[in-house]
Structure formats: structure tokens, C-alpha cells
Amino acid sequence: MMNEIIKSDFFEVGKDGVKKIFTPDDKKIDIVEFDDKTLCYVKSGMGYPAIYPMHETHFEPKAEAILMDLDGTSVHSEAFWMWVIEQTTARLLGKSDFKKEAEDEPFISGHSVSEHLQYMIDKYAKGGSLELARQYYFEIVNHEMDEILKGRGKQDAFTPAPNLKEFLLAVKKEGIKIGLVTSGLYEKAMPEIISAFKQLDMGDPVDFYDAIITAGQALRQGQTGTLGELAPKPHPWLYAETARVGLGIPFENRHKVIGLEDSSAGVVSIKLAGFSCVGIAGGNIDQAGLGDMCDYRINNLMEMLDIIL
């Protein structure tokens, strides 16, 4: 749920025209209301918060395009990636039996790798090095992905969402563009969707989707990277780029575009990009207190067809 507060990091009710301030249960954002506008203050575990205008959103079917999240929405993989975060923290602490707590889950899913790791450091390894944690994380990821590709890894790591194939083919048949959007880095995101498409006998996902936007390449010694770690969901840029650059849809036509998410960070990202949002069951939307920010709620991908057609 949204909780009304008096003061935020940069805003205070009764000062500079601020009428009300709301924050969800996970406290990752603040919604600041004025007489003539509403702003969203996106907090950052990396030291780079941002303030965005909240645009009016509405959806008018038939959809010109849909924007789909990857983890949890298209492929069920969140448990695997949270396990990797847990293993990374265990290595950082030197405690092989370390286990995360259930209350950690809204903070280690849906955001960037660095945000997830910084949260775990702040809670379990105060003073720990984020750079060292990232090194451990990518060592674990590279090993696990190699094992999975060789058929020796976690067998349940990547599972296509129920009815994913039927849904995607139905959307394609209607001539609606499909963009795949993820805060995951390329090296972890693409094996997921490739694995899912192999299981569904759907060919190459790069050929199927009209646009795929990831958080880019990981920045490590000896290679280039991107801004993906500082501008992931809940910032608007991944969804905005998918629609405007990837699919060529102008901002003024945003009412013909709708986003589909299972995570709280993704819901905020879609709304800040100016699109209506469908929240699908199974993620952390309600746990984070952002259910009211969704324009629609569904339990299964096929229910989305009733909204977009």
C-alpha cells in the first residue's frame, strides 16, 4: 500500500507547494503531489537518485505495441537470480551456509545487480566492497550459465511462463509489436529467453521480438560497459527506449502502448515512461505496496488479450 508521509529526502509537505507525499511499503520511491503536477523521487542504493514527472497514462485498444518484462513475466527465473545473490553474499561473508530472509526478496529482484548487492552488503556485510561482490557475482553467474548450457546446472533455472508461446503467437497474429524489456545485463538475460524459446520450439528470440532492450554489458576490467547499472528499472529509460527507439513509437502515441510486469520496479518504470501498466500475479508488486499503481491486474498471460484487443 501507499503510505502518506510528511517529509522525504528533498520534499516536505507544506513547503514549496508540496501538498502530499506518499511512499510504498518498500520505500524505494516517493510520490510527491503538487497542485499542478506529480513527481516521482526514485531513490538509489548507488548514490544517484532521480526525480521524474509522472505523466497521465491511459490505454486505448487495440494496442499498437506491448512491452513485456523478462524475469517473472516471460520466464520464471527470479528464484535462480535471488539464489545467485544469496551465494554471492555467502562468499563475501565467508559463510557457506548463509541464507537470505524472505523480507529481502522485494529488494533483490527487479532492480539492477549492483542495487541488489548493495542492499545485501548494507544489511549483512556492512563495510563490504561492492566491487568485490560484483566480482564474486559474475564468477558465480559465468560458472552457473556454463553449467546450464552443458546440461549440468540447475534444471529449474529458466522456465517459460505458462502459455507464453500461445500468448506471443496470438499477439503476433494480431499485428501488434512486441518489445522485450529487462533490467538484466545482456549476458544473463539472453541465455534466459534463448533457453525458453528452445523449450517452446520457437526459434531465435532475436528474430521473433520487434525489439529487445537489456541493461547492456557488464562493466569489468578489460572490457566496456554501459549505464545499465545506474539507470535500470524503476527508472523509465529501458521501457522508454524500447518503445521510442526500438519500436519507433512517438511519445504522443503512448496511449496505444501498454506494459506488462510482475515486479514493483518494473511497474514504476512503465508508469514513469508514460505507459499504462498491467501487473501479472506471482511477483513482488503487492509485497512492495504498489498494487494501486497498476492500471490492470491479471493472473495469466492469456488474460492480457482481453485488454489489448
3-class state of residue 198 by DSSP: helix
3-class state of residue 187 by DSSP: helix
Length in residues, the chain: 309
> CB–CB of 11/33 below 8 Å?
no
Cell of 184: 538484466
What is the radius of gyration, based on Cα positions, of the chain?
19
Distance, in Å, from the CA atom of 258 to the CA atom of 161, rounded to the nearest integer, reads 19
Exposure string of 255-264, with b = 16+ CB inside 10 Å and e = fewer, is bbbbbbbbbb
Cell of 59: 490505454
Given this model, what pLDDT does residue 93 score? 96
* DSSP states of 100-118: --GGGGGGSSSS-HHHHHH
Q: What is the mean pLDDT of the chain?
A: 93
**Nearest-5° Cα angle at 137, 136 to 138:** 95
pLDDT at residue 253 greater than cutoff 80? yes
Given this model, what pLDDT does residue 234 score? 95
203: exposed, middle or buried (C-beta count within 10 Å: 0-12, 13-18, 19+)?
exposed
Distance, in Å, from the CA atom of 15 to the CA atom of 8, rounded to the nearest integer, reads 11
Which tens digit of pLDDT belongs to each residue from 226-252? 877 788 899 999 999 999 999 999 999
Cell of 234: 524503476
Distance, in Å, from the CA atom of 307 to the CA atom of 79, rounded to the nearest integer, reads 29
Across 183-192, 210-219, 222-231, 262-271, least confident range: 222-231
Q: How many helices (H) and strands (E) does the chain have?
A: 10, 13
pLDDT at residue 223 greater than cutoff 80? no
Q: Which residue has the cell 557457506?
A: 96
pLDDT at residue 155 greater than cutoff 70? no
Across 41-50, 103-112, 179-188, 255-264, least confident range: 103-112
pLDDT at residue 77 greater than cutoff 90? no
